[in-house]
Amino acid sequence: MNVLMVYPEWPDTYWSFKHALPFEGKSSVYPPLGLMTVSAMLPKHWKKRLIDTNIEPMTDADLKWADIVMLSGMLIHKDQMIQMMDRCRKRGIRTMVGGPATSSVPEFQQHADHVVIGEAEDLMADIVADLEQGTAKPVYQAPERPVLDHTPLPDLSLINLKHYSAMAIQYSRGCPFNCEFCDIIEIYGRKPRTKSPQQVLAELEQLQEYKWRGAVFIVDDNFIGNKPKVKELLPVLADWNNRQKTPFTFYTEASMNLADDDDLLDMMRAARFTRVFLGIETPDEVSLIEAQKHQNTKRSLLESVKRIQHYGMEVMAGFIVGFDSDPEEIFDRQVKFIQESAIPMAMVGLLSALPGTQLYRRLQKEGRLIDNHSGDNMDLNLNFIPKMNAQKLVEGYRSILERIYHPDAYYERVRRFLAEAPRNLYSTPRRPSDYLAFFRSVLHQGVLGDFRLSYWKFLLDAATRYRHAFDRAMTLAIMGHHFHTLTRILAESDPGESPA
């Protein structure tokens, strides 16, 4: 059987980094880990190909080769996935769709021949048997969430690693918290499940065999969801990385209670974690309580960020406006917190009620839902009726982005982070693409850019005051170009049209 695995293109959002990747000569941040893992569950005698449409288009020749097309994606990919499935149907090619989006997009069943809902480990044997016998069902739903002991190594033979800025591995699924707006706990549960340290090392050894050197994104939605297990992993990870002469640095996502645990922070530093994404959401405690984000109310958010940064980890963070409890001054407070915390990459979004979440169910009961959301945190179209005036909310949201991603404000945050972080910051091992990225940055930001003076002042500081972290400074300068470009596009767009 010829299986064509297809991953949709990322829209132009803050998460896509599309305006930063060309500096590095890359096409996507990281490869489609889910499809690569599913591929490893399929019979070895099946022929498999992967089309990541961030890298190359899906052509008619690709479809002619395929007996079945398997697609995977997230909610933000919904429309593109439906278009792909319809294109296959017109050519008489069967489609099977899976991934996180199937848990919240029931209309996939109208477009795909086979829909897989839930995690694949306990389903694939039946799916394979049914496909080979010609008796595949319209819908497969995982009866329970699987343990990860037997999750195979992702099939790296399907990709060309040079197209990607980072590689990706998964350690755990699930999160113990209960945030009202979060769909992760609905899809993957509140009891984190983990792989063994040996499984993680096997994935890293495979990356090393494929000649990867550089950043590895541990894609868990909350890496520290099961702290005892993480503390078993990290010393093993640090020891392996050191014995291999540190080919990798790591970044991941975690909850704010990371800041409470000095031992855990020290272990992450020893394993060479350089960046962590935190869901801060808002500095307003009443809104945090409304969102059931109680883990963020038990501490000073500002001090927690500073503590993590002190361990050499750059904090990225998510912020949200649009909670029912948000006060009139929330937009100024968000800007003030982001600037004071020295978080260079602050992902600010309008609150959205994602299908299947507690928030979605509450707003539906209150008669305040308008439509399903696109999953794009840059979407200016609210899918619910907010307590605040909707126009004021959208304009306030825009004002946050325009202020925090003005180059002067952004460079100031980077300076503060570099000044306060330890001088022995870890850097990703240099690759030829890093030198290319630097020269492209000088050309596009320092010669052709609109904020040349701001850029040259920052570059001078990076070369003198922050020489110990020059690589990190330049990476953040390039990221700033992406954020500023998207913010400008968003400022010029109207609700009802795509900011991209």
Q: Looking at residues 203-216, what average pLDDT do you find?
A: 97
- Let me know whether 414 and 427 are in one domain: no
| Residue 297 in domain | yes
- Let me know whether 286 and 344 are in one domain: yes
* Average pLDDT taken over every residue of the chain: 95
pLDDT of residue 242: 96
61-70, 185-194, 260-269, 419-428: least confidently modelled range? 419-428
Per residue in 270-302, pLDDT (tens digit) is 999 999 999 999 999 999 999 999 999 989 999
Looking at 418, 441, 473, the residue that finishes a domain is 418
- Report the C-alpha gap between 343 and 302 in whole angstroms: 10
Matching residue, tokens 């889910």: 34
Edge to edge, what strands does the sheet with 2-7 contain?
47-52, 2-7, 68-72, 94-98, 114-117, 139-141
pLDDT of residue 429: 67
* Total domains present in the chain: 3
Residue 51: helix, strand or coil by DSSP? strand
165-174, 366-375, 465-474: least confidently modelled range? 366-375
* Band of residue 423 on the pLDDT scale cut at 50, 70, 90: confident
* Residues sharing a CB contact under 8 Å with residue 51, sequence separation 6 or more, in sequence order: 4, 5, 6, 7, 57, 58, 62
- Let me know whether 469 and 375 are in one domain: no
- Let me know whether 247 and 381 are in one domain: yes
Q: Looking at residues 475-481, what average pLDDT do you find?
A: 97
| Residue 359 in domain | yes
Alpha-carbon Rg for the chain in angstroms: 22
pLDDT of residue 500: 43
Give yes or no for a contact between 289 and 297, defined as CB atoms under 8 angstroms apart. yes
Residue 22: helix, strand or coil by DSSP? helix
- Let me know whether 109 and 15 are in one domain: yes
- Let me know whether 109 and 206 are in one domain: no
Please report how many Cα atoms fall inside a 13 Å half-sphere around the Cα of residue 220, on the Cβ side. 28
pLDDT of residue 377: 74
Q: Is the pLDDT confidence value at 378 over 90? A: no
- Let me know whether 414 and 440 are in one domain: no
pLDDT of residue 499: 44
| Residue 200 in domain | yes
- Let me know whether 393 and 339 are in one domain: yes
Per residue in 223-250, pLDDT (tens digit) is 999 999 999 999 999 999 999 999 999 9
Matching residue, tokens 């000095």: 262
CATH number of the domain to which 78 belongs: 3.40.50.280
What percent of the chain has a predicted confidence (pLDDT) above 90? 92
pLDDT of residue 495: 60
- Let me know whether 213 and 360 are in one domain: yes
Per residue in 299-323, pLDDT (tens digit) is 999 999 999 999 999 999 999 999 9
Looking at 418, 442, 473, the residue that finishes a domain is 418
| Residue 302 in domain | yes
Per residue in 30-84, pLDDT (tens digit) is 999 999 999 999 999 999 999 999 999 999 999 999 999 999 999 999 999 999 9
Domain of 425, in residue numbers: 420-492
| Residue 182 in domain | yes
* Band of residue 496 on the pLDDT scale cut at 50, 70, 90: low
- Let me know whether 295 and 330 are in one domain: yes
DSSP per residue over 86-125, as a string?
A: HHHHHTT-EEEEESGGGGT-GGGGGT-SEEEES-STTTHH
CATH number of the domain to which 181 belongs: 3.20.20.70
* Band of residue 379 on the pLDDT scale cut at 50, 70, 90: confident
- Let me know whether 401 and 439 are in one domain: no
pLDDT of residue 422: 84
Per residue in 161-197, pLDDT (tens digit) is 999 999 999 999 999 999 999 999 999 999 999 999 9
Q: Looking at residues 359-388, what average pLDDT do you find?
A: 91
| Residue 329 in domain | yes
| Residue 161 in domain | no
- Let me know whether 410 and 442 are in one domain: no
Looking at 418, 437, 471, the residue that finishes a domain is 418
* pTM as predicted: 0.95
Q: How many CB atoms lie within 10 A of CB 336?
A: 13
| Residue 500 in domain | no
